Amino acid sequence: MIASDPTLIDPPAPNGAASRAAWRALRRDRSLLTALSAVHAEMGDVFSLPLPGFSPVVLVGPAAARFVMLGPEGDLLWRFEKDPVARLLRHGVLVEDGAAHDALRTLMTPALHRRMIDAEVATMAHCVDARLDTWPSDGHVDALDAMRAIALAVLTETLFGVDIAPDLERLWRVILRTLAYISPGAWIVWPDAPRPGYGRALRAMDGYLHRLIAQRRAADRGGGPARDDLLGVLVHSDLSDDLIRDQLLTMLIAGHDTATALLSWALVALGQDQDIQARARAEVRAVLGGAAPTAESSARLPYLEQVIKETLRLYPPIHVGNRRAARDLAFQGHRIPAGTRVLFSIFLTHRHPAHWSDPDRFDPDRFDAATRSAPEPFTYLPFGGGPRFCIGTAMARVEARVVLARLLQRFEWSLEPGRRITLRMGATLEPGGRGWLRVRGG
Ligand code: HEM
């Protein structure tokens, strides 16, 4: 019996040195993530965070990745009924477990297959150009807002077959409010905390998604060509409209906010290092000239690929895997009772000094397959692993290449001097302090 096994110990809470280091990091960097790094440095790969009403166990490193991502089915579950993400996405694939999860995943996987995504590269390039056409030829752009607008357009065009542009102004605040609802906040220690304004945003979002479903059904009835994009797959399945809404919202949130974070961090990282930006641009110009990227040409940009991988290492948009122990478990001599919230830190694993040299440095060359060996297994998991491996991986990777290649072709950019970029935990890990870019091009 794990509960009474005398050889097991409880995961330790931060000691005095760890707590002091965390406070210092918090004051210095204004980021919970660097505070967590300080605790990890003192406490090692297994520790608890005993907060009132919220006492997760935090696990770090490759053994923990295997334990969380590849453990026996049913040991660690995803759904926390009272978490905002489950309240928002209801029965979306991301928050379902067991057979319901597997059935939804099987249904939707073909629509996100690399072959389907490659067929959408021209659409993606068009979405990027439409947004870049609005940028100043010499002026300022907010990286996060600019990348969100692109990511939303790409996602809705490629997966739902709709142009979000006419609705974007109206939906922008709705989407931000929805993201704020699932971002870390008071709900962590007070799950029933009032969330003013959220109900109205949710109604607006639901109205939009139900309209998309109704329009597609009407187009199908009108004898238009049946489309096999994600929306098409869903409306031709036996899911109810409410269940379809849950999957559409899941994809909209999980698919665009992660891409927004990745692209913004790439802009920030390249804005901070002009040599790396120039090298990436030289490669793009050598391979593409001025032509829009295609599925084939965008796959021939190895240095850009390294930049994307390194961005995902230092700034993983999903920086933590969140699970609930379904029964008493043990990990590396530690007791994890049923019901415990288990957080696997992708962020800390990606910066683990035992597995990465000079871990905090942005160095795309560490992913140069010709000169460096591949990362050790389970030390690099920007898209997770095991049965809950990101279903949108192919889309995210192709989209990042296409957007960044087009950006490098058309613009040069640098960060506004003196602006401090922080690691902000929103719904994803995003650049805080707003990454204002000085852009030149056209
Ligand atoms: C840079 C972009 C992205 C990153 C870094 C990312 C990362 C991740 C990670 C780490 C997970 C696993 C979470 C866990 O195990 O707890 C995940 C799952 C998921 N992702 Fe992504 N993702 C990205 C883009 C996308 C896109 C474009 C879509 C959809 C179009 C998407 C949809 C999902 C869904 C639905 C899941 C849940 C899968 C399941 O539970 O079976 N993601 N993602």
Q: What is the pLDDT of residues 80-97, one digit of tens each?
A: 998 999 999 999 999 999
Residue 4 CA to ligand 1 center (angstroms) comes to 37
Q: Which helix (H) or strand (E) segment is 323 a member of?
A: strand 320-325
Among residues 345, 379, 413, the one where a domain terminates is 379
- Give the pLDDT mean for 197-212: 96
Atom number, ligand 1, closest to the C-alpha of residue 250: 35
Instruction: Looking at the CA of residue 105, tell me the nearest atom of ligand 1.
Output: 41
Q: Does residue 434 carry a pLDDT above 70?
A: no
Atom of ligand 1 nearest to the CA of 101: 41
Nearest ligand 1 atom to the CA of 316 is 5
> Percent of the chain beyond pLDDT 90?
89
- According to DSSP, residue 72 is labeled P
Ligand 1: residue whose CA is nearest its atom 18: 390
Structure tokens at 183: 């971002």
End-to-end CA separation in angstroms for the chain: 66
The pLDDT, as a whole number, for residue 420 is: 84
Instruction: Please check whether residues 149 and 207 belong to one and the same domain.
Output: yes
Atom of ligand 1 nearest to the CA of 155: 30
Based on the fold, state whether residues 285 and 325 are members of the same structural domain.
no
Ligand 1 centre distance from Cα of residue 101 (Å): 14
Neighbours of 287 (CB within 10 A): 18
Whether residues 44 and 187 share a domain: the answer is no
Q: Distance, CA 383 to ligand 1 centroid (Å)?
A: 6
Query: Tokens standing for 220?
Result: 């199908």
What pLDDT, on a 0 to 100 scale, did the predictor assign at position 186? Answer: 85
Domain that holds residue 324: 1-74+319-379
Same domain, 44 and 191: no
The closest residue, in CA terms, to atom 35 on ligand 1 is 94
Domain count, the chain: 2
Q: Distance, CA 390 to ligand 1 centroid (Å)?
A: 4
Provide the CB-side half-sphere exposure for 393 (13 A, CA): 11
Q: Ligand 1: distance of its center to the CA of 236 in Å?
A: 24
Whether the per-residue pLDDT at 398 is higher than 90: the answer is yes
Mutate to test the pocket of ligand 1, among 95, 258, 390 (most ligand atoms within 8 A of CB): 390
Q: Residue 178: what residue type?
A: T
- 9-13: list long-range contacts, CB under 8 Å, 24+ apart: 9/333, 9/334, 9/335, 10/48, 10/334, 10/335, 11/46, 11/47, 11/48, 11/57, 11/334, 11/335, 11/336, 12/43, 12/46, 12/47, 12/48, 13/47, 13/48, 13/49, 13/50
Same domain, 40 and 20: yes
pLDDT of residue 435: 63
Helix 198-221 crosses helix 165-182 at what angle (to 10 degrees)? 130
Largest CA distance in the chain: 69
For 375-403, b/e burial (b = at least 16 CB within 10 A) is: beebbbbbbbbeebebbbebbbbbbbbbb
Which residue's structure tokens are 């829009």? Answer: 292
Instruction: Write the CA distances from 413 to 158, 160, 278, integer angstroms.
Output: 28, 32, 10
CA–CA distance, 307 with 304 (Å, rounded to integer): 5
Contacts of residue 299, Cβ cutoff 8 Å, sequence gap at least 6: 401
CA 129 to ligand 1 center in whole angstroms: 25
Kindly report the protein residue whose alpha carbon is nearest to atom 6 of ligand 1: 383
* pLDDT, tens digit, 9 for 90 and up, residues 371-393: 999 999 999 999 999 999 999 99
Rg for the chain, CA atoms, rounded: 22
3: domain CATH number is 3.30.43.20
Give me ligand 1 centre to Cα 136, in Å. Answer: 33
Among 351, 379, 407, identify where a domain stops.
379
Atom of ligand 1 nearest to the CA of 251: 29
Q: Residue-wise over 21-32: b if at least 16 C-beta within 10 A, else e?
A: bbeebbeebebe
Mean pLDDT over 355-383 rounds to: 97
Q: Find out whether 34 and 423 touch, Cβ atoms under 8 Å.
A: yes
Please indicate, yes or no, whether residues 434 and 415 belong to a single structural domain of this protein.
Answer: yes
Are 375 and 406 part of one and the same domain?
no
Instruction: For residue range 11-22, list pLDDT tens digits in order.
Output: 999 999 999 999
pTM comes to 0.97
Which amino acid residue places its CA nearest to atom 27 of ligand 1?
255
**pLDDT, the chain, mean:** 95
Same domain, 247 and 237: yes
**Which CATH number belongs to the domain containing residue 206 in this structure?**
1.10.630.10
Task: Give tens-digit pLDDT for 20-72.
Answer: 999 999 999 888 999 999 999 999 999 999 988 889 999 999 999 999 999 99
Residues 91 and 225 in one domain: yes
Q: Are residues 61 and 118 in the same domain?
A: no
User: How many Å lie between the centroid of ligand 1 and the Cα of residue 258?
Assistant: 8
| Ligand 1 centroid, distance to 389 Cα (angstroms) | 7
Asked if residue 371 and residue 393 are part of one domain, the reply reads: no
* Ligand 1 atom nearest to CA at 395: 27
CA–centroid distance, residue 1 to ligand 1 (Å) = 35
Lining ligand 1 with CB less than 6 A are: 93-94, 105, 112, 250-251, 254-255, 258-259, 262, 317-318, 321, 382-384, 388, 390-392, 395-396
One-letter identity of residue 368: D
For the record, the structure tokens of 158 come out as 């490629």
- Do residues 136 and 220 share a domain? yes
Distance 252 CA to ligand 1 centre (A): 11
Q: Of the residues 358, 379, 400, which one is the last residue of a structural domain?
A: 379
State which H helix or E strand residue 441 sits in. Answer: strand 436-441
Cα 259 to ligand 1 centre (Å): 10
Using most ligand atoms within 8 A of CB, pick from 251, 258, 350 the residue to mutate for ligand 1.
258
